[in-house]
Amino acid sequence: MSGPIRLSTILLALVTALVAILLYSPLFVPIVSSFFTINHGQVDWSTPTLSAYTALMENTDVIDALRATLIVGFSTMVLSVVSGTLMALYFHSRGAARGALQFIIFLPFLMPPVISGLALLIFFREINFDRSLITIIIGHTVFVLAIVYRTILTRLQSMSPTLVEASYDLGANGWQTFWRVILPNLSSAMAGGAILAFALSFDETMITILVTGTQSTLPVRLWAMMRLGFSPDINALVALILLLTIVICMLAARLLIPKQVAGSPA
């Protein structure tokens, strides 16, 4: 039996490695290309250079778009975590109209982004609200709120009610119970929801196109550049974003994945 089992394990490992190569190898193309000169579509492998990174620092349009994207992403993250936490607490406390609350939260996320973006565009036009980064932040918050809300609510529902009861029995008031008991238990879920909110906001394009004003985010800027082709400094931008993403994923894994206790002696 060991022979067939070993063969199947090897085949499974080979298939897994092939799938990983097909999925992730394109990510390394812009990273490698960012360190070499590209002339007429041909990569000069003989002389490594950092000229693409220097050109990126001088590309004010891309830098401004990246700055706007980060502003929108962090603002969306904060607003969605705060509002998602409050809504999850209200739902968990069995407040009135809980079904309507969940319907309002999940509807923009379940609808196609073009419909959500168009609805927001019509709303902003009807109230004469000028499109700007604020409208983009509102649109992104409405879109990602369902993910953050559900993440926090799931953690809240998994908490033992005896923790809150014990806090009250020990003389703590409502605010002390929330600050010292509920919030620490929700911190990892809030951090996970914040990371998801930032990632979805960073990548969102369709809603952004419909509600943007004079300032555009990085995905919209890159989408507009596709008509003329990408300059070499975009390879440097992709490499930096991938590096930032890896760092964020490592931090998220360190914060969210519970530490495993070392193997105890038999």
Query: How many Å apart are CA 174 and CA 259, to the nearest integer?
Result: 31
Element (H, E) at 46: strand 42-48
Token look-up 């931090």 returns 251
Question: Which residues of the chain are modeled with pLDDT < 50?
Answer: 1, 260-266
Cα separation of 219 and 208, whole Å?
9
The pLDDT score that the predictor gives to residue 265 is: 45
Identify the bridge partners of residue 39 per DSSP, sorted by sequence position: 42
Which pLDDT does position 82 carry in this prediction? Answer: 94
Instruction: Read off the pTM.
Output: 0.79
Domain 63-256: CATH superfamily is MetI-like (1.10.3720.10)
Provide Rg for the chain, Cα atoms. Answer: 24
Q: Give the pair of three-digit tokens for residue 252.
A: 């998220």
* Of the candidates 207, 197, 190, 198, the residue with the CA atom closest to the CA atom of residue 255: 190
SS3 call for 173 = coil
**Burial state string for 205-236 with b = 16 or more CB within 10 A and e = fewer than 16:** ebbbbbbbeebbbbbbbbeeeeeeeebbbbbb
State residue 134's pLDDT score. 92
The one-letter amino acid at 59: N
| pLDDT tens-digit map of 155-183 | 888 888 888 888 887 888 778 888 888 88
Q: Which two tokens stand for residue 26?
A: 């394109």
How many CA atoms does the CB half-sphere of 226 hold within 13 Å? Answer: 6
pLDDT of amino acid 2: 57
Q: What is the pLDDT of residue 83?
A: 94
